[in-house]
């Protein structure tokens, strides 16, 4: 029963991103007890035990363990994972009323609310640290603090978002976590119960979550994407008594500022983005020739850091004069080299520059719309998605090319090696992910004529959208 994939790279990366204290646990139910003997390094505990004890042996002792019905202390644990029927003493509420409920009737309600797998299909259970590829699990168990769990929830919601609803029956948290995950096929989180803390050694600050094995890649991709956006663990505190404005993207400043930029007239703000060397400038020039005004965020970023300006002062104060050239302008290559492999310093740099860029952007938009309230304004923003600036624009245009074309163009443009070009791309949000945010997509991998045809088609759609906005503004009397 060997694993059909190498789980180790994924698990090691998730352990690093979440800073986990214990192993993620591979959990698998077996239809035949003899299948336990096929698992390498498996241990059978010599005494009767609880399910939470087995889990603790895996995540803390680094063991691979297995059990069948006869290995469990009482029918509580095996009845939850379908290894046996629920005994009458539990069904009628007697068992729960001994400790956990006031009356037998309450105990019966309690028992009826506990999620359980139907008995009859499974005969044994196997558990192991997933990082060692013991077998392909049905589900994976995580134990972590609330902040780590929140990040894992965020990661699972990053693609194909849905609200996650979790439950707590009280005692028997393995039912909330394990059984519910099996029954619903969705991640299930709960609070480890008294028994799991007493016998399974779950810590005071720990929560437990089961993730279906088929969703592990989704969880990992979500964690990686959030990490690139600065959402990571441990969470750095901004300071409850400080002005944290600089730490927020502009989209968080409030609806008033966003509405001021988007306006209520006939203007259209088009965000143009894409990957490095994808041809954003080429597409922007084509749109400009068709009548769209241009605001280039690269130009705004250079203006914002001119010697003597506030952003320049902040950068020099933080990074030192080592990032200055002889004429006191920023040495952009040296600064890029510093922040390229240090996400925290990159976030700090963005905090100095971005608010000033946004202020200049808002001023340029006001200037253009005062001249023409129906202007189509394209903003060329390389990091539009990474900086979460989507709310500022009515529509998003993504310029796309295959990765190999990006690498080739980057090598030719900057005179760098293929290895360097690949490392630069690896540090950026993949183009395929950016495409998911696009209202309009331009494939710039073909000839100039092919790109022009696509841009012209986009322009016609933008004009239709502008007309609908203008009609709406006139109808409302604005």
State how far the Cα of 228 lies from the Cα of 429, in Å rounded to an integer. 7
Strands 395-400 and 440-443: what pairing? parallel
- Distant-in-sequence, close-in-space partners of 66: CB < 8 Å, separation ≥ 6: 30, 36, 39, 42, 43, 44, 124, 125, 126, 127
Helix (H/G/I), strand (E/B), else coil: 389:
coil
Residues of the chain with pLDDT under 70: 245-255, 477-478
Q: Alpha-carbon distance 311 to 305, whole Å?
A: 5
Q: What is the pLDDT of residues 416-466, one digit of tens each?
A: 999 988 988 887 888 988 999 999 999 999 999 999 999 999 999 999 999
Bridge partner list, 396: 271
Q: What is the pLDDT at residue 255?
A: 66
* pTM for this model (two decimals): 0.69
The reported pLDDT for the residue numbered 252 is: 60
Domain 254-475 has CATH 3.40.50.300: yes
Residues linked to residue 142 through DSSP beta bridges, in sequence order: 209
Secondary structure letter of residue 372 according to DSSP: -
The radius of gyration of the chain from alpha carbons, rounded to an integer in Å, stands at: 28
The DSSP code sequence of 226-277 is: HHHTT--SSPPP--TTS--GGGS-GGGS-HHHHHHHH-SSS-EEEEEEE-TT
Domain boundaries, the chain: 8-228, 254-475
* DSSP tally for the chain: helices H, then strands E: 21, 12
Beta bridge partners of 125: 29, 67
Q: Closest Cα to residue 175, out of 234, 112, 127, 219?
A: 112
- pLDDT for 254 equals 57
pLDDT of residue 347: 80
Residues β-bridged to residue 43:
65
Angle at 230 between CA 325 and CA 233, to 5 degrees: 125
- What is the residue-averaged pLDDT of the chain? 92
């Amino acid at each position: 029963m060997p694993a059909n994939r190498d789980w180790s790279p994924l698990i090691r990366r998730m352990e690093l991103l979440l800073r986990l204290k214990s192993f993620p646990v591979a959990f698998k139910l077996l239809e035949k007890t003899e299948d336990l003997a096929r698992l390498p390094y498996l241990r059978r505990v010599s005494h009767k035990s609880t399910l939470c004890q087995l889990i603790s042996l895996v995540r803390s002792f680094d063991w691979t363990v297995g059990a069948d019905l006869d290995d469990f202390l009482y029918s509580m644990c095996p009845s939850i994972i379908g290894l046996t029927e629920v005994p009458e003493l539990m069904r009628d509420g007697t068992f729960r009323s001994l400790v956990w409920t006031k009356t037998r009737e309450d105990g019966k309600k309690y028992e009826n609310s506990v999620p359980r797998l139907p008995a009859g299909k499974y005969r044994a259970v196997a558990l192991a640290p997933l990082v060692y590829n013991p077998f392909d699990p049905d589900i994976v168990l995580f134990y972590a603090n609330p902040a780590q769990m929140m990040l894992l929830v965020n990661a699972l919601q990053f693609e194909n978002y849905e609200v996650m609803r979790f439950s707590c029956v009280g005692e028997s948290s393995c039912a909330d976590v394990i059984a519910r995950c099996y029954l619903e096929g969705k991640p299930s989180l709960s609070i480890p119960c008294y028994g799991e803390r007493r016998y399974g050694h779950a810590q005071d600050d720990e929560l437990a979550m089961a993730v279906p094995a088929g969703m592990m890649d989704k969880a990992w991709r979500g964690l990686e994407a959030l990490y690139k956006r600065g959402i990571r663990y441990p969470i750095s505190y901004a300071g409850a008594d400080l002005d944290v404005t600089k730490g927020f993207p502009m989209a968080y400043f409030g609806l008033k500022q966003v509405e001021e930029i988007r306006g209520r007239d006939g203007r259209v703000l088009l965000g143009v983005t894409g990957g490095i060397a994808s041809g954003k400038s080429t597409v922007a020039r084509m749109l400009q020739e068709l009548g769209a005004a241009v605001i280039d965020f690269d130009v705004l970023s250079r203006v914002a850091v001119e010697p003597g300006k506030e952003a320049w002062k902040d950068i020099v104060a933080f990074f030192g004069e080592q990032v200055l050239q002889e004429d006191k302008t920023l040495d952009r290559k040296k600064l890029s080299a510093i922040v390229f492999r240090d996400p925290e310093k990159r976030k700090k740099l963005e905090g100095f520059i971005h608010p000033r860029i946004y202020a200049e952007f808002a001023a340029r938009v006001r200037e253009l719309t005062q001249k023409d309230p129906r202007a189509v304004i394209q903003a060329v923003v390389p990091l539009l998605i990474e900086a979460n600036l989507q709310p500022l624009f009515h529509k998003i245009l993504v310029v796309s090319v295959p990765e190999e074309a990006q690498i080739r163009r980057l090598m030719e443009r900057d005179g760098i090696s293929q290895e360097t070009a690949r490392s630069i791309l690896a540090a950026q949000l993949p183009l395929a992910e950016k495409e998911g945010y696009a209202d309009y997509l331009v494939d710039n991998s073909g000839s100039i004529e092919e790109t022009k045809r696509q841009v012209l088609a986009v322009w016609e759609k933008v004009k239709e959208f502008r007309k609908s906005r203008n009609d709406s503004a006139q109808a409302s009397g604005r």
